[in-house]
Structure 1
Amino acid sequence: MSELFSIQLQNRQQQGGDGVWLDLPTTTEQVQVALRQIGISSDNPQGLFISGYFAEEEKRFAISYNMVLASNVDELNFLASRLETLSTGERTELNAALQAPQSELFSIGRITDFPENVDYYVHLPDVHGPAQLGDYYLNRSGMVNMPEEWKGGIDTAQFGRYVAQQEQGAFTQYGYLVKSGDEWQKVHEGQPVPEEYRVLSFPAPEVLRDSANIPPPVQPETEPQKVIPIILNGKDSAERMKEITDRLETGIQELFDSDRYKAYLTTMAKFHNYSFNNTLLIAMQGG
C-alpha cells in the first residue's frame, strides 16, 4: 500500500502548531501514532480537525481543497483506497470530470463511486479546444461521412464549438469530457464507510496507558491465625468448670477495657433514645 495523497491533522488546542501529515490509504496503527504526535486521545477527540491536503503532481486529483477539509479520516481513507484502483487514463478522466463546469462530482461519496462509473463519460485526453474537437470528429471519429476533399473547406474550430454545444461537452485542463448516456451507478455514496476502511481510533490518554503498564503490587501472603487450644489443668469436672469460668471472666474484662467497648459506649451515648437492640445494631455497623 503506497500513499495516494496526504492530509494534515491538527489539534485545535495547539494553536500555531504544525500538525502532522498522514499518508492515505493508511492503517489504524498509523493513525494512532499521528494522533499521539498532536496530543489527541479519547479524552479530547473534538480537538481533531483536517487542515491540509497534498499530493505529488503525478498523483494529484483536482478534488476541491475545501471538500477534503470538510470530510473525515475514514471517508478520505476509503476514497484513497478506491481511487488507488484506477488506471492512469481513468485518473485523468476523473480529473477532467472534477474540473468540468457544473461537475456532478460534488461530494466525497460521489467521487468514491467513480471507479464503478468510468463509462459514464467519454473522455478525449488530447482535445483541449474547439479546433481539436472539430478535427477529431471530422477526421478521426469515423462519424462524419463525406468526401475527403470537402473536409478541407470546413472550419474545424467552428465545427468543434457546434459539436460541444450540441452534446454539452466541456473542455478542461485534462481534456474534453462528455456524458456517454450511461446511468450513474450509486454504490457507496450515502452509505457508512465499510468496516475494513475505518481507521480512526483514538488512543488512550497517556496517563491511562502508563498506568496500564504498571503491574499490580504484590500482596504479601498472610498466614492464617493459629487457633490455640484451651488446655485445662483441673483434675475433675468441678475444677475444670471453675477454670473455664475464670478464663471467661478474664476475657470479658479484657473486652470492657478495649477500645472497641469504648466506641460502643460512645455510640450508645449518641443514641440514648434508641432501644438497646437498635443501638447495638448501629454499633455493629460502625456508628
Structure 2
Amino acid sequence: TYDGKHLPQSWMNENCVMELEIVPENDKDVRHHDWIQFPTDPLKAERALFRVGIPALGKVEVQFSDSRFPDEVVRALDIRIGCYYQLNELSQVCADFQEHDFAKLGAVCHLAKPEGIESVRHLAENLDQFDFAPDVHTPEEYGQYMIQQSGRYEYDENLAEFYNYEEYGIKRILQEDGVFTDYGYVSYHGTLTLEELMQGNTAESHQQEQEAKMEGMAW
C-alpha cells in the first residue's frame, strides 16, 4: 500500500533499468524503506536517503528490488552504500537496451567474469566487440545458426542434408575461443585483452602504446 511518502516496488517505472531498496540498518519496517530507480537524477539518490532519515553517509542496507539485468550481471555488481553514481552511469549506458542486449550482456559477463560496477559498464559500452548467438547451446546449433541465420552465408535449403552443422560449429568455436552460456553462445573479437577492456582501456590507446614501443625500438 502507498503511505503517501514512499513508492512501493509495484510502482516500478517501465523505463527504468534497475531499482534499489534502501533499508535503514536493523530496521525491517517497510514504512521506513525507500526505493531508487535508475537511471535517475543523481540528487534523487541522496534525497531518498534523507527521506528515510539517513544522512548521506549513514549506515544503510542496499539491495536489489528489481532489475532488467540477467542474474549473471547482478552477481558481478558490488552493491553497497555510496555506489549510486556508478550504478546510474551503468543504467544510462543500458537505458536503450532491448531484451536481446540484456541477454547478450549476461553472456558477456559469463565469458569475461567482471568484478564490480565499472567493469560491467565497460563491457556494456563495448558489446559490439562480442558476437552473440542467442539460445544456442551446442556446436550443432551454433553451426546451424551461422549457416542459416547469421547472414554471413547464402543458405540453400535444397542442400540442407549436405550441411554438417556440428562439424562446422566445432571449427568456429575453436577459432573464436567462444563459450556457451545460459543465454546463448558468445565470443570476443576485440584487439584488447578482456582485462584491458574491463579497465576502460580503448583500442586507440592500445594502438598508440604499440606504436610508441615500436618507435622506441627503432631508436
Give the TM bin, normalised by the shorter chain: 0.5 to 0.7
For residue 11 of structure 1, the aligned residue among 20, 24, 42 is: 24
1:34 aligns with 2:45: no
SS of 1:113 mapped into structure 2:
helix
Q: Calculate the TM-score normalised by the size of structure 1.
A: 0.51
Q: Percent identity?
A: 20
* Unaligned 5+ runs, structure 1: 191-287
Stretches of 4+ aligned residues off by more than 6 angstroms: 142-145, 147-151
Shift of 1:23: 0.8
SS of 2:126 mapped into structure 1:
helix
CA distance in 1, matches of 2:126, 2:152: 25
1:23 aligns with 2:37: yes
- The answer as to whether partners of 2:78 and 2:115 remain within 8 angstroms in 1 is no
Q: In the alignment, which residue of structure 1 is the partner of 2:134?
A: 125
- Provide the aligned length of Structure 1 versus Structure 2: 181
Quick one: structure 1 residues 88 and 140, their matched pair in 2 at CA, closer, same or farther if it must change by over 3 Å? closer
Amino acid at match of 1:49: E
Amino acid at match of 1:122: D
* Unaligned 5+ runs, structure 2: 1-12, 202-219
Q: In the alignment, which residue of structure 1 is the partner of 2:88?
A: 77
Quick one: structure 1 residues 53 and 157, their matched pair in 2 at CA, closer, same or farther if it must change by over 3 Å? farther
Quick one: structure 1 residues 188 and 87, their matched pair in 2 at CA, closer, same or farther if it must change by over 3 Å? farther
For residue 105 of structure 2, the aligned residue among 71, 74, 94 is: 94
Amino acid at match of 1:119: D
SS of 1:78 mapped into structure 2:
helix
Q: In the alignment, which residue of structure 1 is the partner of 2:189?
A: 180
Q: Pairwise mapping of residues 114-263 of structure 1 onto structure 2 (< 5 A)?
A: 114-139=123-148, 152-153=161-162, 155-183=164-192, 189=200
**What's the Cα RMSD here?**
3.6
Shift of 1:108: 1.0
CA distance in 2, matches of 1:135, 1:66: 32
